[in-house]
Amino acid sequence: MKSSTAIAHPNIALIKYWGKSNITGNIPAMSSISLTVDVLESKTKISFPKDLNEDTWILNGSRQSSLERIKMPFNELKKRSNVRDACLIESDNNFPTAAGLASSASGIASLVTALSHALELELSLQQMIELTILGSGSAPRSLFSGFVSLDVAGDTITCNTILEGNQWPLEVIICVTSSDQKEISSRVGMEISRKTSPLYDNWVDNHQKDFQTAMAAIQLRKFAQLGAVTIDNCLKMHQVMKTSQPSIDYWNKTTHAVVQQVQTLQARGREVFYTIDAGPQVKIICNSDLTEEVVFEINKIPGIESIVKCGLGQGARLLNA
């Protein structure tokens, strides 16, 4: 038992998951593909202060009333060790939390990496995947670098890097249109959609086709093909959300304006595409030679809070290994 610190980056889903097949095990109902970004990061420090009476989670400097979302992977890891001392978990994100920027994925991936080391558990990568998914269905993807696939076949999950970032160094421009926490968490939202959206079954049934199209596009580095399937998959997910009861709409006015600007750039022949997760932020993907032009255009849009330029990042890792 020792102190340990790990960092992990958020991942941006190109082929999304929205809906679970098994709520207790937190198993996604479909496979997904993402990009692990750099620049944005979650850092988690684990320690065992002598005077601490109970397991305590401090997120971005504020003490949480319960372990909430981290409870399942945390309890499972503690169960596997014989450490009974109270544990202090200190997590920090250098970007807005719970605003559709995948802070849960990077947070959980950094937690599982740091805690398994602190508890001196020798876990295989497959065990790490199974533990992170307990906290968030997208978290295993943040264990890996570059382009990542998370393949779901029944209750069997595999997760891998498809291509490293330096094999296809795309850039991700994150347009923050509101850093407010979202009103409906993805966990709650996807359950509402599963139960009520008339489009949900179709979304699940046709998902594998998008997954395969994106896989092929990444392996062959076909930008236009990857862009088309990413946008189509994103819009389908947001239609499922909107047709849920109650309707879920994460977009704001600025989100719409950014999407329109991407369409204008595409009409000018620029190779860019976008995607949007469970929040109002737009992620624009392009080659590095276009980054400055895109940022220049997006900066003109009223309501933009900030723009973060990211490359592709590494998987979760220990800082004190």
Residues in the site for ligand PMV, rule: CB under 6 A? Answer: 13, 16-18, 32, 104-105, 136-138, 186-187, 277-278
Per-residue DSSP letters for 17-80? ---EEETTTTEESS-EEEEEBSS--EEEEEE--TT--S-EEEETTEE-SS-GGGHHHHHHHHHH
For the bound state, the minimum distance from the C-beta of residue 216 to ligand PMV, rounded and expressed in Å, comes to 19
For the bound state, the minimum distance from the C-beta of residue 147 to ligand PMV, rounded and expressed in Å, comes to 14
Q: Which of 314, 257, 265, 253 is nearest to 292 (CA)?
A: 265
Q: Which is nearer to ligand PMV, 227 or 279 (CB)?
A: 279
Distances in Å between the Cα of 13 and the Cα atoms of 35, 81, 182, 284 are 6, 33, 18, 12
User: Is there a contact between 275 and 285 (Cβ–Cβ < 8 Å)?
Assistant: yes
For the bound state, the minimum distance from the C-beta of residue 286 to ligand PMV, rounded and expressed in Å, comes to 20
Distances in Å between the Cα of 12 and the Cα atoms of 48, 139, 154 are 33, 11, 23
For the bound state, the minimum distance from the C-beta of residue 278 to ligand PMV, rounded and expressed in Å, comes to 4
> How close are the terminal C-alpha atoms of the chain, in Å?
14
For the bound state, the minimum distance from the C-beta of residue 189 to ligand PMV, rounded and expressed in Å, comes to 8
Q: Which is nearer to ligand PMV, 36 or 186 (CB)?
A: 186
Q: Which is nearer to ligand PMV, 199 or 290 (CB)?
A: 199
For the bound state, the minimum distance from the C-beta of residue 211 to ligand PMV, rounded and expressed in Å, comes to 11
Per-residue 3-state assignment (H helix, E strand, C coil) for 91-144? EEECCCCCCCCCHHHHHHHHHHHHHHHHCCCCCCHHHHHHHHHHHCCCHHHHHC
For the bound state, the minimum distance from the C-beta of residue 25 to ligand PMV, rounded and expressed in Å, comes to 13
Q: Which is nearer to ligand PMV, 57 or 250 (CB)?
A: 250
Q: Which is nearer to ligand PMV, 4 or 136 (CB)?
A: 136
The number of beta carbons lying within 10 Å of the beta carbon of residue 79 is 8
Q: Which is nearer to ligand PMV, 80 or 187 (CB)?
A: 187
List the beta bridge partners of residue 22. 27
Burial of 309 (0-12, 13-18, 19+ CB in 10 A): middle
Q: Which is nearer to ligand PMV, 27 or 258 (CB)?
A: 27
Return d(Cα 186, Cα 304) in angstroms, integer: 23
Q: Which is nearer to ligand PMV, 237 or 265 (CB)?
A: 237
Q: What SS3 state is found at 154?
A: coil
